[in-house]
Amino acid sequence: MKMKSPFLFLLSYFFLSCAFSQQHKIDSFSIGTDVQICIDRPDNFKASRKTLLIFFALPNGNSIPQTMGKKMKPGDDWHYDIQHIKAQTGFLRKKINHKNVVVVYAGNRFNAWPLWKQKHTDYPVLINHIIDTVVSLFASGKTTIALNGHSGGGSFVLGYLKTVDEIPDKIERISFLDSDYGYDSSYNEKFVKWVRKSKKNQLNVFAYNDSVALYDGKPIVSATGGTWYRSHLMLTNLENDFSFTGAENDSLIFYTSVNKQIHFFFKKNPDRKIFHTQQVELNGFIHSILCGTRYESKGYLYYGKRAYDYYIEK
């Protein structure tokens, strides 16, 4: 790739490797002046195994340590207790124990990918470079990729998808955890071709009815500005090419494509509350990786009690 920005020459690669537990070995480095990458590898990483490389783009307003989570102590910032991606990763590693499950936290100094993109007009090139840089650290023939993110992290995922004519074969899972604010119909053809390309490819979308949510008595998004509207738009577009079945319970509405490769999870909101972070906290990250596999809903329930408390560290 031809480098078009000085940003791409500023790869400062300083590994801060330390074993935080028997399950986690953390490597951190910067790309350019304002992108932070943190790679959580299993301490028993084996080159002979296949690797599932999960890019988790950070939500707006959260640091990498806050996104990882920890056991709360008096006075701790509440952000440490709303996602627990590190503990959910621990749960995943016990389930998918035949692979190296690696999580790549992607953040920036603005703590908001939409704002970062505004600061970098050449963001399509830069996002592509970020992903290529991390992927190059792992054996290409044994690595598959999952793109994931919460809140503003969806802007990073959609920013990457905008850079490619077709979604690459190495990407086998794309999940939006209440994060597809930037979705429009221009992405639909790419999703359709990608899903049809391989039975392994999975698209997962999580949203709650933010169109009726209130904060201090006022709407938090416009009628078309939230994930409820954008996710239903995505579903409507995909229904032109795929058949779906629907189901619901007291809390959730489910849509699953007949080929079992596309999943929508919609949280009802009759009381007009805000459920933005709970979709992640209540086993959402786990479900975004395991839904559509033989491990789906085994030992956990999406939007149920936290299944990962045992793995939360101090």
114-138, pLDDT tens digit by residue? 999 999 999 999 999 999 999 999 9
Count of H helices and E strands in the chain?
A: 9, 14
Going 298 to 306 to 106 to 120, the CA torsion angle's sign is positive
Question: Please, which residues bridge with residue 265 across strands?
Answer: 206, 254
Q: Report residue 47's pLDDT band, with 50, 70 and 90 as the boundaries.
A: very high
- Residues 205-230 have pLDDT tens digits of 999 999 999 999 999 999 899 999 99
Q: Identify the band that residue 140 occupies on the pLDDT scale cut at 50, 70 and 90.
A: confident
**How much is the pLDDT for 56?**
98
Enumerate residues 6+ apart whose C-beta is below 8 A from 169. Answer: 197, 198
What count of other Cβ atoms lies within 10 Å of the Cβ of residue 252? 15
